[in-house]
Amino acid sequence: MIKLSHIVKTYNPNTPQEVKALRDISLQINKGEIFGVIGLSGAGKSTLIRIINMLERPTSGQVEVNGQDLTNMSDNELRAARRHIGMIFQNFNLLSSATVRDNVAFPLQLARTQSKAEIDKRVTELLAMVELSDKADMYPAQLSGGQKQRVGIARALASNPEVLLCDEATSALDPKTTSSILALLTSLRRKLNLTIVIITHQMEVIKECCDRVAVIDNGMITELGSATEIFIDPKQALTKRLVSATVRRGLPELLRHTKVVSEYHEGAKAIIELLFLGPKADAPVIVDVAKECAVSISILSGSIDHIQNDPFGIIAVEIDGSRAEIERAIAAFKQRVHKVEVLGYDERKQLSEL
């Protein structure tokens, strides 16, 4: 649906202020997919999304949306093509001087292809879709942030686009409103067969609704994969850092003051992290392993979460027993859960024994 080939964007080329915003980005986004682009501020993600609808022209490279090459279009052709690419923004960018109804009608009025009655009918339909029918005659200043973004979504979808670009669309919203906007986007994707590109710095957004994710750093894509892959198995340091903001990984807080070493020594307990994913996530794994091997297992920390609708859990446990039994237990876990990681060994005493 969207194909970016070797996109380079350099601001102020050949001057001391030269900024290489994007360096050779190639990306393919499939039809009906919710694709997330995550990165820190200044990584180039805002430039990247503006390249897709040519609000920023790339210095070199090719942009193809729905089979059309946007890079070589005239201004007029480009304006026509943009009507098939909706966009929503962090600051909503609604006309403060126009009512909700007029804001949603705006792109249709710009296009000048429909009669006033047709536009009215379409606007009523769109407002119902985003559940704002009762706010039609209000001005944006009278709405909450979430409602403003709903108006933004209705406006972006007015001319039946195939693609919706979301530029930090939930960054100005509280977590609850963010979830409701993301739920709306997810349901619209299904209903309208939309392809959605989401730019964000919030890993939560990726976790809640994205199918695939690209991590962008310093103008380059450093990691690309399904949302699950990125969460479960982040490879790059930046990705790990981003993921750790929403999913706590590594040594549990409980062991903050405990000496943990990476090599086994006589009498040590093993600290391991278990990663549960999908249908296996609710199996009685810990009890099974404890029964099977001569070890005692204490849970140090744990959380069960969802990536889109797939449950996944991360549990850190401490295994006490002989070296052979500990190794057997680890092997048994490896068969049962998605991933097992040995975090280290310690000689911690149970809190209850102190």
Partner 1 sequence: MNASSFLNFDAWSRIGGLLWNASLETLYMVFVSSAVCIVVGVPLGVILLVTSKGYFWYSPRFYNVLAAVVNALRSVPFIILMVAIIPLTKLIVGTSIGTTAAIVPLTIGTIPFIGRLVETSLRTVPHGLIEAAQSMGASPWQIVRRVLIPEAMPELIQNFTITIIVIIGFSAMAGTIGGGGLGDLAIRYGYMRFRADVMISTVVILIAMVQIVQWIGDYLTRMCDHR
Query: What residues line the site for partner 1 (CB under 8 A)?
Result: 53, 55, 79-83, 85-87, 89, 91, 93, 95-98, 106-107, 109-111, 139-141, 155, 159, 165
- Sheet of 19-29, strands arranged across: 19-29, 2-11, 60-65, 68-69
Which is nearer to partner 1, 158 or 317 (by Cβ)? 158
For the residues of 113-148, what is the DSSP string, one character each?
-S-HHHHHHHHHHHHHHTT-GGGTTS-GGGS-HHHH
Q: Residue 154: which of 119, 173, 126 has the closest Cα?
A: 126
CB of 23 to partner 1, least distance (A): 24
Which is nearer to partner 1, 97 or 352 (by Cβ)? 97
Tell me how far CA of residue 135 lies from CA of 130, 140, 142, in angstroms: 11, 9, 9
Q: 340 is written with which tokens?
A: 């097992």
Q: Residue 92: which of 80, 104, 83, 110 has the closest Cα?
A: 104
Phi and psi, residue 224, nearest 5°: -145, 130
CB of 349 to partner 1, least distance (A): 58
Which is nearer to partner 1, 119 or 232 (by Cβ)? 119
CB of 281 to partner 1, least distance (A): 41
CB of 55 to partner 1, least distance (A): 6
Helix (H) or strand (E) holding 65: strand 60-65
Which is nearer to partner 1, 71 or 91 (by Cβ)? 91
CB of 86 to partner 1, least distance (A): 8
Which is nearer to partner 1, 93 or 296 (by Cβ)? 93
